[in-house]
Amino acid sequence: MHLIQILLPLYDNDGNPFPATEFQRVRDELTERFGGITTYVRSPALGIWKETPETAVHDEIVTYEVMTERLDRAWWQAYRQELAGRYRQQWLVVRVSEVELL
The pLDDT of 20-32, averaged and rounded, is 95
Over 80: is that where the pLDDT of 59 sits?
no
CA gap 68, 1 in Å, rounded:
6
Reported pTM: 0.80
Range of the domain at 45: 2-98
User: How many domains, in total, are found in the chain?
Assistant: 1
Using CA atoms, how far residue 22 sits from 13, 28, 73, in Å, is 16, 10, 23
Tell me what the mean pLDDT of segment 32-57 comes to. Answer: 71
Q: Give me the chain's average pLDDT, please.
A: 86
CA distance 20 to 34: 21
Q: What is the per-residue pLDDT across 62-97, written as a single tens digit (0 to 9) for each?
A: 899 999 999 999 999 999 999 999 999 988 999 999
Binned at pLDDT 50, 70 and 90, residue 15 comes out as: confident
pLDDT at 70: 93
CATH of the domain at 78: 3.30.70.120
Q: What is the pLDDT of residue 12?
A: 86
Mean pLDDT for the stretch of residues 56-64 = 75
